[in-house]
Structure formats: structure tokens, C-alpha cells
Chains A and B, each alone.
Chain A
Amino acid sequence: MKKIIIGLGSCGIAAGGLKVKEALQNLAAEADSGIQVSETGCMGMCYAEPMVEILEDGHRTIYGGVDEKRAKEIFQNHALGGKPVADAVALDSDGGGSEQGFLAQQERIVLERCGAIDPESIDDALAMDAYAGLEKALKTMTAEQVVDEVLRAGVKGRGGAGFPTGQKWKFAAGYAAESKYIICNADEGDPGAFMDRSILEGDPHSVIEGMIIGGYAIGAAHGYIYARAEYPIAIRRLKIAIEAAEARGFLGKNILGSGFDFKLVIKEGAGAFVCGEETALIESIEGNRGMPRIRPPFPAERGLFDKPSNINNVETLANIGWILRKGADAFSAYGTEESNGTKVFALAGKVTRGGLVEIPIGMTISEVVNEIGGGTKDNKALKAVQMGGPSGGCIPANMMDTVIDYAPLAATGAIMGSGGMIVMDEDNCMVDIARYFLQFTQSESCGKCTFCKIGTKRMLETLERITQGKGEEGDVEKLETLSHQIKTNALCGLGQTAPNPVLTTIRYFRNEYDAHIRDKKCPTKQCKALISFNIVSDKCVGCTVCAKKCPVDAVSGKAKEVHAIDQGKCTKCGICKSMCKFDAVDIS
């Protein structure tokens, strides 16, 4: 029995997966072959979307970069004819295909079922052991034993802070109250990170299972999933999964006959990065402006509606079912001495194979970027890898041997973070990157504490001046002073980490700051105020393409004559350069 499966996570849909699915459905119907066409979540290989899998008697053949034409070929040759379209195979169960390198070093705990099941089918999930950890916990373990198992597994918070999850549960379990809450932080706000989205889209049951187990462990009968409103597909699949879990008795009253009740509600966020901070998130669920509270009291003592509450990130919770099912020892077989398990990264930017990567903690950055990711695009030189988003930092190319673990990453000035890993090449201006992140944190600062509110504003103004060629001697030192003041005095994690992108770029790329400030030059020719586009007269053949494509009519010249760019009109969008086949547009 053959089955055709199309990867329809957000990336797959964005790359045109729905059209491919429709085409395959039509083909299957026309051929009256009885071949089933279904869908799955993110397979992790976003760079090769849309992806199509042919599943036959447990044997998987996965095709990448499938368009409608390719789909037809795959359907006729492989699905009907039984002969794989060899040159398009990305992966197959026998270890063949062009993309084995992407998966070879990965370990899948969190993403075990992502890309392998239809996320809208609880039967698919159950066939791959979903809720088996829950069953074991409820039927054979006390709440204390569950907490101990998670403690022993040593899983740390995957949202970025890295606090041991078992400890957190122990605190919340220790407070007696008539009602308690467990909250899943699915407000993935780091720009450049999509791990949580992919997990929720690809295997929502893993998160639901983790929450029920957590509720049982700390004695909470109510759970909230605080999900980002920008993730409509994730929210839709979560809703479907919750309904299915209720229907099967994994949620609701007297779960699996254990006497434990648990109710789960989705709260849609409304767009505020600071709500990733746990007390701000609580304020938001309560219907208020999402401004962090002063701690203590910590949420474990007084959280949502002033009741003991425990907040875990999506990826952390997605580990829990696996840990209970296979045991703490199996989990701690992965990772380093300090940190057990795996970490999911969203690999993106100037990298050849961008996508979702799950690796055992302890690999080096180079192994992830070069071996799994296939290195930089277009043979450009790697410059830095940004980890941890607006709270993290840029790690330079000569430190790619840094081990991916909480402490070694913190020593570089970056952080493990929630899993954003953005590759930057020689064309990226590090001052501009610092300005970019500061602009983000400044606009997302909630305004409660002065150091964050005003400090980030002053830092942003300084960085803007520098990128506009108006920097002054002493600006870098001013940035450093402000950074340290904000880090020490800000109320919550947003402010305390906001200066990290600036501090790391100063630490590793001071020469770029100096070039902007002293020479009024952007070495990578990215900062628009410091560059101009010009036609190279001995290369221009007068093909008129640039003149036609220029959106502001800044290029003039007759056919077969050398063109010219009117600097007064030019907006430095770069279209002329990208369109020129003769390399006749130069940036100076």
C-alpha cells in the first residue's frame, strides 16, 4: 500500500506545498489508484521545500524541491511505476539520496514525530508512542516520582534561560493551593527563530502530553498555552489536537482512570515580544498590558491569578513525554556532562541548507553550520553566527569550534537562547546587525523600567548615528557604559540581555565600528548613508536593463552607450547591481 505525504508546515506551504498537494490529489483521483495522499508537518529541511514522501511498506523515499511538474513525474514513475526518480531523491530509508548529510549527525527526541506523522491525526501520533509517557506516569508513578525523573534527566529550560526544569517543577509542587496552573510559553518572539512553531505545527501532541505530565507532577488541573497570534497554522493544529486528546480521554476528567483531571486552554497572544518573559506573559493572560512583575514572589509561589504557576517553553515540554517513556537514563545518554539531551536550532541566514536541526548538546557550531548546514551560500566567507536573537550575540568565524552548551556559549558573550542560529557572511555589516537588534528591543521594551526604556533608546540613537556616518570618537565607550548599566539594572530579561548583540559585535568586530566612526566608511558596503552606486564605464555595454529596472528612474543612458546613475535620485536599493550581467555596477 503506497501513501504520498506532503510536508505542509508554514515553510512547505510558503514554498508552494499546497499546489503540489492539489496536483497529487488530482493525479491520484484520475489514476483511480487507491493511493492515499496525506500531509505532515515540518520535516526540518526547509531549504528543500516543498517536500514529497512516498511511503511504501515502511520504506520512505523523500523528494525535495518538488513543483507541480516534478510531482507529476514522481507520481507516474514512482507512485504508479514503482521506479524512484533518482536525481530528485533527497533521502530514502536505505541511506540514499542527496541530502543525507543534513540528517546524519542529528538526533531526534523533540522532533521524533515531526515530519513523520499527520499532525492532525491523533492515531498517527499514537502509532508513534504519543501519550505513552503520560500513561506510564499516571498509572505507575506518583507526582513526586515524576518530578524526580525529570530532575534526574537534567533537562534545562529550552526557552533560553536554561533553568533546570525539574527544579522548577519541584518549587511549584512545593506550594499548596486549591488551584495551580501550568503554562506553556509558545510566544516565540525571537526574530529568526521558528523551532516552537515547527514543533506545534508538526507534533502538537508532544507539547500537550508534556503539559499534562507537568500538571500531574506539580498538582495543577489547569493549563494554558500562550501562543503567538502570528502562527495561525500552529494554533489551528493545536486546537484540533486538544479536541482529539479530549475525545480519547487524555484530557478532561479522570484521565486514563487515574482520578487526575486536567483542562487545557489556548490563549492567543497579541504581539508583544516582552510577553516571552514569564511574569509579563502572566499579566497578558490576565488581560493586562504585558509588563513584567517584580520578582520575588516568583510564579511558582504567586503566578497566574496569584496562584502557584509553572511556565515552560514549547521545546522543553516536548521533551517530557519522551523522558517519561524512555527514562531519565536514556535521555542523559545524550549531551554533555553539564547539559543532557538535545537542542533544536532554526538554522537560517546565509547558509546553504537552512532548516530545523536537532543535535545532541555538545556539538560545535562549526559542525552544525558547515557539516549539517553545508556552509555558507555562494562560497562567501563565513563572518559570524548569531545565536540567541536579540538577547544573544554574534560569534565570529574564528570561534566556530565553540561547543554548543549553555556555559561555553555564555563565555563568548552570546547565549544558547531559544534556538535561533543565523549565519552571516562577509557581506553583512556587524554594526548594522547591532543596530537592527537594538531597534527591535527598543521598540519592544515595555516601558516599565527606566534603564531599559531610556537606555536602549540612547543606545539605538548612537548606533543609528554611527551607521549614518555621524559617529564620534568615544561613541563605542558610551555604548559600553550604557550596556553595563542596562544589564545590571533592568527589571527583566529583555533589558538585561538587550545589550548583548552590541557588546559582542564591539568585542569581535571593533574594527568595523572604527571604520564607520573614523573613516565614515562601511567596510561591507551595507550602510546606505555611506555608499553610492556607480556605473563602471569600461564594463557597461549599454544593455539598458538597469535603466528599465530602476524603480526611481535614477539610471539614464541610451542603448549601447555607457549609462549613468543620478546620485540625487538613487535610493541605493541595489536592483541595478543585482540585474547587471556585466558586473558593471560598483558600490563605493
Chain B
Amino acid sequence: MCKDCAQSGKYWDCFEEILEGYSGDKSQLIPLLQKLQDAYGYLPEDIIERLSQRTGIFVSQIMGVATFYSQFRLEPVGENIVKICFGTACHVIGAENIADAICRELGIELGGTTEDRLFTVESVACLGCCSLAPVITINEETHGRLTPDTARAAIRDFKARKAVAV
């Protein structure tokens, strides 16, 4: 919803909107962080500080939770997220080679973001599409039965479609 707000001087509006219904129930911390990350793309420091002030949960506790779960990010990410599945089925059919091919194609390490901020490449434990292994997702799109070559092609094709859309 408000990656745009961040740029348009309404940086805190989404924060306020998300916290509006907060009732003081501290078990809501994880859903709150999920919503904030959805809005801001990651969990910026100033957001975490204000969340602490608002909820009374210590920054150390919030950071404890934010660093425990793999879903939360403390750094900004690229516009598009490539997830490479490292589940068992994908591993035995060659996930590592897929990751190599994609990282080389984008010129970054696994977990990194391209300089133009177009792509972030992440590894995930399992996407649950094991029968189509090896699998990656680019944003919401799933690509299965890949080889290093078709994985590279999927990235190129995605880029080309993006370029046309712009």
C-alpha cells in the first residue's frame, strides 16, 4: 500500500493506519511487524523505534523477534524478489546450480540486491512445489522444472516483460 507514501512526505501515515486498531495486546507484535514490512518493504530503524514507543515493547524485544524469523528484513530490498527453493527435492535435482546461474545472471550473491535495485535474490527452505523441482519464484510467478539455462532465460524474460511494461 504505501511504498509510495514513503516518497511523498507521508512516511508516517501508513504506520498510523496500521497501529490504529492496536489494542495493547502484545501478542500482536508479529502481525504488526508483518503489516509494517508489507508497507515499507522492510523494517526501518525509525519505524521499529516508534513501534516500541507506541506499544511499550522494548526495542530489544522487537529486534529479538525481527531477527528470529526469516521473513523479516532489516535492509531495503529490490523491486522484484527472486526466491530460490532449497527444499530437499530441489536440492537433489540441482538447486545449487540454479542459484549459481541466477546469481551470475544478475551479478550478485545469494541474498544480495542488484545495484539498480531491480532484483533481490533470496533462498527459501521450501516452496512446497516439490514435484516441479527445481523451483524458483519471481514475485508471485512460479517457475518449475528448471535447468540453469532455463532459469537464466526466466530472469531475462521477466526483465524483458518489465521493460515493455514500463
Q: Which residues of A contact B (CB under 8 A)?
A: 10-11, 13-15, 46-47, 49, 188-194, 197, 229-231, 267-273, 284-290, 305, 346-350, 354-355, 386, 389, 420, 422, 424, 428, 433, 436-437, 440, 444, 446, 549, 551-552, 571, 573-575, 578-579
- The listed residue (B65, B88, B131) touching A47 by CB distance below 8 A is B131
Nearest CB of A to B107, in Å: 11
Nearest CB of B to A159, in Å: 16
Is B144's CB under 8 angstroms from A192's CB? Answer: no
Q: Closest 3 A-B residue pairs measured CB to CB?
A: A192-B88, A46-B131, A270-B69
Is B65's CB under 8 angstroms from A436's CB? Answer: no
Interface hit among B2-10, B23-31, B74-82, B158-166: B23-31
Smallest CB-CB separation from B25: which chain A residue?
A287
Is A422's CB under 8 angstroms from B88's CB? Answer: yes
B42 at the binding interface (Cβ < 8 Å) = no
Task: Report A-chain residues with C-beta under 8 Å of the C-beta of B111.
Answer: none
Nearest CB of B to A186, in Å: 12
Is B97's CB under 8 angstroms from A349's CB? Answer: no
B56 at the binding interface (Cβ < 8 Å) = no
Is B89's CB under 8 angstroms from A188's CB? Answer: no
User: Which B residues, 34 to 70, have Cβ-Cβ distances below 8 Å to chain A?
Assistant: 34, 64-65, 68-70
Bound complex: CA of A273 vs CA of B68, how far in Å? 11
Is A551's CB under 8 angstroms from B70's CB? Answer: no
Is A191's CB under 8 angstroms from B92's CB? Answer: no
Nearest CB of A to B129, in Å: 5
Task: Report A-chain residues with C-beta under 8 Å of the C-beta of B152.
Answer: 551
A229-B71, A270-B72 known; A349-B65 Cβ under 8 A: no
User: Which B residues, 89 to 109, have Cβ-Cβ distances below 8 Å to chain A?
Assistant: 89, 91-94, 97, 100-101, 104-105
Smallest CB-CB separation from A196: which chain B residue?
B128
- The listed residue (B29, B34, B129, B142) touching A194 by CB distance below 8 A is B129
Smallest CB-CB separation from B137: which chain A residue?
A14
Task: Report B-chain residues with C-beta under 8 Å of the C-beta of A188.
Answer: 128
Bound complex: CA of A267 vs CA of B32, how far in Å? 12
A271-B70, A287-B65 known; A573-B86 Cβ under 8 A: no
Smallest CB-CB separation from B132: which chain A residue?
A14
Task: Report B-chain residues with C-beta under 8 Å of the C-beta of A424.
Answer: 92
Beyond contacts A271-B71, A348-B88, A348-B130: 10 other A-B pairs, Cβ-Cβ < 8 A, are A14-B135, A49-B132, A270-B72, A285-B27, A287-B28, A386-B88, A389-B88, A433-B91, A551-B148, A574-B97
Is B31's CB under 8 angstroms from A191's CB? Answer: no
B127 at the binding interface (Cβ < 8 Å) = yes
Is A15's CB under 8 angstroms from B144's CB? Answer: yes
Is A350's CB under 8 angstroms from B100's CB? Answer: no
- The listed residue (A15, A194, A436, A578) touching B130 by CB distance below 8 A is A194
Smallest CB-CB separation from B86: which chain A residue?
A191
Is A230's CB under 8 angstroms from B127's CB? Answer: yes
Residue pairs across A and B with Cβ atoms less than 8 A apart, 27 shown, are A10-B128, A14-B132, A14-B143, A14-B144, A49-B131, A188-B128, A191-B87, A192-B130, A193-B128, A197-B128, A272-B68, A287-B28, A287-B29, A288-B65, A290-B69, A346-B130, A348-B89, A349-B130, A349-B133, A422-B89, A440-B125, A444-B125, A551-B148, A552-B104, A574-B94, A578-B148, A579-B149
A-B contact count (CB 8 A): 155
B124 at the binding interface (Cβ < 8 Å) = yes
Is B27's CB under 8 angstroms from A287's CB? Answer: yes
Smallest CB-CB separation from A275: which chain B residue?
B69
Is B148's CB under 8 angstroms from A575's CB? Answer: yes
Task: Report A-chain residues with C-beta under 8 Å of the C-beta of B69.
Answer: 269-272, 290
Smallest CB-CB separation from A501: which chain B residue?
B88
Nearest CB of A to B67, in Å: 9
Smallest CB-CB separation from B26: which chain A residue?
A287
- Size band of the interface chain B makes with A: 35 or more
- The listed residue (A14, A349, A389, A578) touching B129 by CB distance below 8 A is A14
Bound complex: CA of A192 vs CA of B31, how far in Å? 27
Q: Give the residue among B88, B100, B101 with the most A Cβ atoms within 10 A.
A: B88
Nearest CB of A to B140, in Å: 8
Is B70's CB under 8 angstroms from A428's CB? Answer: no
Task: Report A-chain residues with C-beta under 8 Å of the C-beta of B127.
Answer: 10, 230
Task: Report B-chain residues with C-beta under 8 Å of the C-beta of A267.
Answer: 30-31
A15-B132, A287-B26 known; A190-B101 Cβ under 8 A: no
Is A230's CB under 8 angstroms from B128's CB? Answer: yes
Is A354's CB under 8 angstroms from B131's CB? Answer: yes
Task: Report A-chain residues with C-beta under 8 Å of the C-beta of B133.
Answer: 348-349
Is A11's CB under 8 angstroms from B129's CB? Answer: yes
Nearest CB of B to A566, in Å: 16
Bound complex: CA of A229 vs CA of B132, how far in Å? 20
Is B148's CB under 8 angstroms from A270's CB? Answer: no
Nearest CB of A to B39, in Å: 15
Nearest CB of B to A426, in Å: 12
Task: Report B-chain residues with C-beta under 8 Å of the C-beta of A273.
Answer: 125
Nearest CB of A to B47, in Å: 16
Smallest CB-CB separation from B83: which chain A residue?
A230
Task: Report A-chain residues with C-beta under 8 Å of the C-beta of B104.
Answer: 551-552
Task: Report B-chain residues with C-beta under 8 Å of the C-beta of A272.
Answer: 68-70
Bound complex: CA of A267 vs CA of B27, how far in Å? 11
Bound complex: CA of A10 vs CA of B144, how far in Å? 11
Nearest CB of A to B19, in Å: 15
Task: Report A-chain residues with C-beta under 8 Å of the C-beta of B129.
Answer: 10-11, 14, 46, 194
Bound complex: CA of A315 vs CA of B100, how far in Å? 36
B126 at the binding interface (Cβ < 8 Å) = yes
B147 at the binding interface (Cβ < 8 Å) = yes
Bound complex: CA of A347 vs CA of B88, how far in Å? 11
Task: Report B-chain residues with C-beta under 8 Å of the C-beta of A349.
Answer: 88-89, 92-93, 130, 133
Q: Give the residue among B26, B65, B91, B144 with the most A Cβ atoms within 10 A.
A: B91
- The listed residue (A15, A191, A268, A286) touching B88 by CB distance below 8 A is A191
Task: Report A-chain residues with C-beta under 8 Å of the C-beta of B142.
Answer: 10, 13-14
Is B65's CB under 8 angstroms from A194's CB? Answer: no
Is B143's CB under 8 angstroms from A573's CB? Answer: no
Task: Report B-chain residues with C-beta under 8 Å of the C-beta of A579.
Answer: 149
Smallest CB-CB separation from B32: which chain A residue?
A287
Is A192's CB under 8 angstroms from B135's CB? Answer: no
- The listed residue (A270, A290, A354) touching B34 by CB distance below 8 A is A270
